[in-house]
Structures are given as C-alpha cells and as structure tokens.
Amino acid sequence: MRCELCGREESRLQRIMIEGTEMMVCSSCVVYGKPVTVPKKGKPLSISPSKNKDYSKDIFEKMKKEIVPDYGTRIKKAREEHGFSRQELGALIGERTTAVAKMENHELRPSDEKAKKIEKVLGITLFQDVKQAILKKRDVTGLTIGDLLKKNE
Ligand SMILES: [Zn+2]
C-alpha cells in the first residue's frame, strides 16, 4: 500500500483525517492529521458527538415554573397572616372578591401574571419547577423537542 500523502510504500497504513478528508498515510505522516477509526469499528473521532443528549439536557435546564398545586392554601394562609380580607387582596391584585375566594378554594387557577402579583403582594411563593409539566405538555400537543427549544428561546 502507498501513503496517500508522501507516496511511500508501507505495509500498514493508518487512516487519518486532514482538514475534513480521510487519507491513508504511513506512520511518519500520521502527525499531519487526526487519527480516524474505521466506521465499522466505531465512530470517527473527528466528528462531533451526537447532540441528542445535550438536547434533552436543554429541556430540563429550560424547565418552566408552574403554579404549585396548593396555591389556594398558600394564598389564604398568607392573606390571613397579612390581615387582608378577600376583598382587600382582590383590590391589590386586581381581582374580584369572588375570584379570590375561588382561587383559595382551588376552583380558579390564577394566571401566571396574576400569581406573580399575588407573590409580590403577599410575599409568598406560588411557583415551582415542574419537569413533568413540560413533558406532559409535549405529549399532549405533540410538540417536538425542536419546537420546545424554539418556544423557550
Ligand atoms: Zn507518508
């Protein structure tokens, strides 16, 4: 066999990658490129690893916060601690008294915007990290991982 780089005759050539091109070279020419393993035996070292793993990692890192399931209990407790009536809290967050009552009874889930307002007014936390929520959402809407990433960007 002949070295594709210098043309020297050598019985055992090595496969290397030089600027994106695979070449069979002799032992003295291997220094000019990166060693490449034969595809059948394994992945070429020069090709960057699959990004699939990174994608799923991105999903989890970009998890959105969701309103806690016991938001009503938290709102009620904090409201009472502050000595607010439902009417007063409603006025502070721009909701009707009946809406506040429904929220406290878990009959009405506050919008993210409203929940943030309540957090501020009452000094409580109404959001939590929920990975399952994202995954569930994806199942329901049929969104691909790519769609999710776009949405979160
Ligand atoms: Zn050579």
pLDDT per residue as tens, the chain (153 positions): 899 999 999 888 999 998 889 999 999 999 999 988 665 555 555 555 554 555 555 555 556 788 999 999 999 999 999 999 999 999 999 999 999 999 999 999 999 999 999 999 999 999 987 665 445 444 445 556 666 666 555
Q: Compute the distance from residue 7 Cα to the ligand 1 centre, in Å.
A: 6
* CB contact at 8 A, 96 and 90: yes
Q: Compute the distance from residue 92 Cα to the ligand 1 centre, in Å.
A: 80
> What separation in angstroms does the CA of 37 have from each of 22, 43, 48, 103?
10, 7, 14, 62
DSSP state of 63: P
Q: Compute the distance from residue 18 Cα to the ligand 1 centre, in Å.
A: 13
Q: What tokens appear for 151 in the block?
A: 């949405």
Q: Compute the distance from residue 31 Cα to the ligand 1 centre, in Å.
A: 10
Q: Compute the distance from residue 21 Cα to the ligand 1 centre, in Å.
A: 15
